Amino acid sequence: MGTPPITLHLRPSIALIKSPFSFSSSHRFEMSSGSLPPLPDGRVVLGIGSATVDFLAAVASYPKPDDKIRSTSAKIQGGGNAGNALTCAARLGLKPRLISKVADDSQGKGILEELEGDGVDSSFVVVSEGGNSPFTYIIVDDETKTRTCIHTPGYPPMIPGDLTELKLLSALDGARLVYFDGRLYETALVVAQEAWTGAPSLPSALCSMLLKLPKIKFVVVTLGEDGCMMLERSVCENAESEEVDVDDLLETLKHKKNIDTAIPTCVSSSEVKLRAKGIGTVHGRLLLGTAEKIPSSELIDTTGAGDAFIGAVLYALCANMPPEKMLPFAAQVAGIGCRALGARTGLPLRTDPRLYSFLV
């Protein structure tokens, strides 16, 4: 899934954590919503980041220089980290709003139409007169199951002055969560300056982030086919808690993971004092989540898998899922999305029976 760490700043009402179009989803995989728990009350989420057009071409194998080859399949659809994550959240039942920027060209109109068709509120997207909307060429290699992305940013780029204070306050009104995908570089730079750690290992880097940003409740980083890792801060610090080296704890949890099951699972440590060498100590617990083991015959395209994971995390937070349930649920949503070409084609609806056991 290969996305940057998800950083969530929790506050009382808001949390800060990412036409010519063809649309299809797994609508044939549906069940009655009456068999599921009710949707959460606070379902409005706000995303700030990229919304693009993806031009996807699957090929038998990646071309060599100066080759001329034919695609095995092709698709044009919306993309972009924030656009994908919010589309996923909308299909799971949330009410997402997006702050982004496109041009008034045909691609920009298609981006907005597809978002609205999926239930994403695009009324806060800035539309520039002239310029070009962002787009990405994506080559999906059927042989290696990898994808190569060539991105062209939109122009003119979004600047803080594009959004009036009134519109910003309106976008935030009633929002339970705010998600940044880091693509709006001026915002991303501020976050990066705070979150960059230089730590020698991933677990110690997560400890460093919690120490530097005391309002963060937890940090999650996705690890592709290896699943994900989460560090959750303790609500109450216990002076009597055992002190454990965070890297040693990671190795212990790796041995506890159930690697024999195909469906996503999660293992967790108890709440302890997590010691990161040369960095400091954090009270909390470490969790490891596994990814779905997708048969090679079913794995089509990993484009947007990390975005799907984040969209599912947004839903899980609104539904007050515990981390032990949230991580496998998000991994399952991402895995389902990898079974079709493009970041959005295979995104499941909340009523998809493959999600039932994770939702009840």
At 199, is the pLDDT very low, low, confident or very high (cuts 50, 70, 90)?
confident
Of the candidate ranges 187-196, 198-207, 309-318, 333-342, the one whose mean pLDDT is the lowest: 187-196
Residue 10 has a pLDDT of 32
Residue 198 has pLDDT above 90, yes or no: no
Helix (H, G, I), strand (E, B) or coil at 359: helix
Q: How many CB atoms lie within 10 A of CB 113?
A: 16
Tens of pLDDT, residues 220-269: 999 999 999 999 999 888 878 899 999 999 999 999 887 677 899 999 99
CA 184, 185, 191, 196 dihedral sign is: positive
> What number is the average pLDDT over the span 92-110?
97
Beta strand 216-222 with 6-10 is antiparallel
At 182, is the pLDDT very low, low, confident or very high (cuts 50, 70, 90)?
confident
Question: For residues 307 and 338, is the Cβ–Cβ distance under 8 A?
Answer: no
Cα distance between residue 336 and residue 89, in whole Å: 14
At 193, is the pLDDT very low, low, confident or very high (cuts 50, 70, 90)?
low
State the chain's mean pLDDT as an integer: 88
Residue 161 has a pLDDT of 87
Residue 196 has a pLDDT of 73
Cα distance between residue 123 and residue 95, in whole Å: 13
> What number is the average pLDDT over the span 202-212?
92
Residue 321 has pLDDT above 60, yes or no: yes
Tens of pLDDT, residues 25-51: 444 567 766 689 999 999 999 999 999
Question: For residues 62 and 148, is the Cβ–Cβ distance under 8 A?
Answer: yes
Q: What's phi and psi for 243, nearest 5 deg?
A: -100, 125
17-63+79-359 maps to CATH 3.40.1190.20: yes
Question: For residues 48 and 99, is the Cβ–Cβ distance under 8 A?
Answer: yes
Cα distance between residue 122 and residue 124, in whole Å: 5
Q: Scanning the structure block, which residue is given the tokens 């042989």?
A: 143
Residue 23 has pLDDT above 70, yes or no: no
The per-residue DSSP string of 313-331 comes to HHHHHHTT--HHHHHHHHH
Q: How many CB atoms lie within 10 A of CB 116?
A: 12
Element (H, E) at 172: helix 165-172
Tens of pLDDT, residues 130-166: 999 999 999 999 999 999 999 999 999 998 889 888 9
Pull the structure tokens for residue 245.
């080296």
Residue 205 has pLDDT above 50, yes or no: yes
Question: Which amino acid is present at 270?
Answer: S
Residues 262-277, buried b or exposed e (16+ Cβ, 10 A)? ebbbbbbbebbbbbbe
Q: Scanning the structure block, which residue is given the tokens 């780029």?
A: 157
Residue 108 has a pLDDT of 98
Residue 265 has a pLDDT of 95
> What number is the average pLDDT over the span 264-291?
95
Residue 7 has pLDDT above 50, yes or no: no
More confidently predicted of 283 and 186: 283
Residues 153-164, buried b or exposed e (16+ Cβ, 10 A)? ebeeebeeeebe
Pull the structure tokens for residue 205.
């880097």
Residue 261 has a pLDDT of 79
Angle at 112 between CA 108 and CA 117, to 5 degrees: 145
Residue 21 has pLDDT above 70, yes or no: no
Residue 215 C-beta-side C-alpha neighbours within 13 Å: 10
> What number is the average pLDDT over the span 306-326?
97
> What number is the average pLDDT over the span 276-290?
95
Residue 292 has pLDDT above 90, yes or no: yes
Tens of pLDDT, residues 45-98: 999 999 999 999 999 999 999 999 999 999 999 999 999 999 999 999 999 999
